[in-house]
Amino acid sequence: MVLSTENDLLLRSKRGDTEAYGQLVKLYQKSVFNVCYRMLNERRDAEDLTQESFVRAYQRLETFDLTRPFGPWIRRLATNQCLNYLQRKFFVYEELEEERQLPSADRGKNPETEQVQREQAESIRGAISRLSPQFRAVIEMRHFQDMSYAEISEALGMPLSDVKSNLYRGRRQLAREMKDE
């Protein structure tokens, strides 16, 4: 049902129906925003990059294969947009105070557990944001988009050996950071 709706929206979007595309954006904005947020760890930048990714995707809809699902495609595109952004700009990790106070979608009911989980999430987000853009991208694609090494290699235009090595080095760096905390 969801897929047929998605296909219908995609077909209409390809014909230039922006309203249909708007509905498609509504369906995927949360997951794409989370890709960008994990990559950038800055809410406003993540929202801007999410918006930019959807606009770029609309301009590239002609090249999109309708037999494939839209979600992985737009998330991959967003990861690349973030990677390009990070490489263009020297990214300084700066945690905004407001980030701590923004509510998340699904919180546990126990306030203490909630607090611990929030701290752990913040800690790992912070650690990821200190990784190099390349490490961040492979970790994002492998752990949060469940992509295979070969898919990551294709999406990032990176040799398979580099994907494996970046993934390992990224994880090792995170492990060291987590140990230090």
Partner 1 sequence: MSDRSLDTRLNEYLDGLLSAEEIGRLKTDLKRNPELAIRLAELQKVVKQFEHIDELEPSRDISEAVLHQLGPINKNEKVFSRILSFELLATGVLAYFASLALSGTLSEVAAWRLQIPQFADLANRFLAPQSILWEEVRHSASSGIAQWLRLPALGSFSADIIWIALALAVMSLFVSALLLAEKKPLNTRDD
| 63 Cβ contact list (under 8 Å, min separation 6) | none
Closest distance to partner 1 from the beta carbon of 67 (Å): 16
Q: Among residues 10 and 76, whose Cβ is nearest to partner 1?
A: 76
Nearest Cα to 59, choosing from 74, 43, 39? 74
Of 83 and 91, which has the nearer Cβ to partner 1? 83
At its nearest, how many Å lie between partner 1 and the CB of residue 51?
Answer: 5
Q: Which is nearer to partner 1, 76 or 91 (CB)?
A: 76
User: CB neighbours of 139 closer than 8 A, spacing ≥ 6?
Assistant: 128, 131, 167, 170, 171, 174
54: burial class by Cβ within 10 Å (0-12, 13-18, 19+)? buried
Rounded to an integer, what is the distance from CA 111 to the centroid of its chain?
Answer: 28
Cα separation of 66 and 94, whole Å? 40
Distance CA 126, CA 179 (A): 14
Q: Between 91 and 129, name the residue whose CB sits nearer to partner 1.
A: 129
Q: Which is nearer to partner 1, 10 or 80 (CB)?
A: 80
Which residues are near partner 1 by CB under 8 A?
16, 18-19, 21-23, 25-26, 29-31, 33-34, 37-38, 43, 46-47, 50-51, 54-60, 63, 73, 76-77, 80-81, 83-84, 102-107, 117, 120-121, 123-125, 142-144, 149, 155-157, 164, 167-168, 171-172, 174-176, 178-179
Assess contact for 154 and 108: CB atoms under 8 A. no
Q: How far is the CB of 176 from partner 1 (least distance, A)?
A: 8
Q: How far is the CB of 4 from partner 1 (least distance, A)?
A: 20
Nearest approach in angstroms of CB 58 to partner 1 is: 6
